[in-house]
Amino acid sequence: MQDPTEIAGEPSPGLVSTAIQAITQHIRSEGLAPGDPLPSEAAMTRQLNVSRTVVREAFRSLSAMRLIDMSAGRRATVAKLDTGAMSMVIEHGITTQQISVHQVYDVRRTIEMRTVALAALRRTDAEAAAIAQSARLMRENFKNPEIVMEYDIAFHEAIAAASHNPVFSLIVTAFSGVTRRTWVIGWRTRSSDEDQLKMIKGHEDIAEAILIGDPRLAAEHMALHFDKSVKALLDAGIA
């Protein structure tokens, strides 16, 4: 017909994939920024000369990856960077046992030793305060594991944000889902209040190092923190 992406040799990738290509291509060639509107489904339907079904599935796919935002009645818009797709990939890897929790922790350790160092160098005062605040709230709620966990996650995400590199934020946040599934297990191995408070102290040390702007010290504390966390998971028998 008039399919511009039809290339001999390659089996047809399907009309939907073609449509997805067309949409992302449109974003690129028009230089669209987050919030900018995309063509309506009807317009795309005419432009690509396919049924609305195809166009819809393409839009929906991009929406699932959080590359665009959709809502009823309004045109789809270019989305802000979001961790949705990434965390789904990681979750998928975990649930289908293609990756292990330990492997994720190794990656987290690698990345967060860098984010914490960057945070120590580049944090604003507000960011340093937010990080310290999360640590403080962990201590104040240490009797309630669920809450401690959420502040723990917020703590690490705040550090990533303070690194001022959104790619780090993206990855760290993508791992948060895994953390939510394993955190409590590690916490339980720290049976005594003393152990648990010691772990919280580790967070405070990190926050302090960021506050005084010592990247090396911050990275050291972070490494220590991860080593203990991994040990806790090992003790709990997590492969």
Where on the chain is the footprint of DNA (CB under 7 A)? Answer: 12, 14-16, 40-43, 50-54, 56, 59-60, 70-76
Which DSSP string corresponds to 42-53? HHHHHHHTS-HH
**Does the footprint of a second copy cover residue 86 (CB under 8 A)?**
yes
- Does 103 bind a second copy (CB under 8 A)? Our answer is yes
Examine residue 28 and tell whether it contacts a second copy (CB under 8 A). yes
Q: Identify what 41 binds: a second copy, DNA, none; CB under 5 to 8 Å per kind.
A: DNA
Interface with a second copy includes 177 (CB under 8 A)?
no
CA distance 111 to 107: 6
Minimal distance, residue 62 CB to DNA, in Å: 11
Angle at 121 between CA 115 and CA 127, to 5 degrees: 75
Closer to DNA at the Cβ: 52 or 188? 52
| Contact between 38 and a second copy per CB under 8 A | no
With CB under 5 to 8 Å by kind, the binding choice for 137 among a second copy, DNA, none is: none
Partner interacting with residue 40 (select from a second copy, DNA, none; CB below 5-8 Å by kind) = DNA
Report the interface residues with a second copy, using CB under 8 A: 4, 16, 20, 24, 27-28, 32-34, 53, 56-57, 60-67, 69, 71, 78-82, 85-86, 88-93, 95-99, 103-104, 106-107, 110-111, 114, 165-168, 170-171
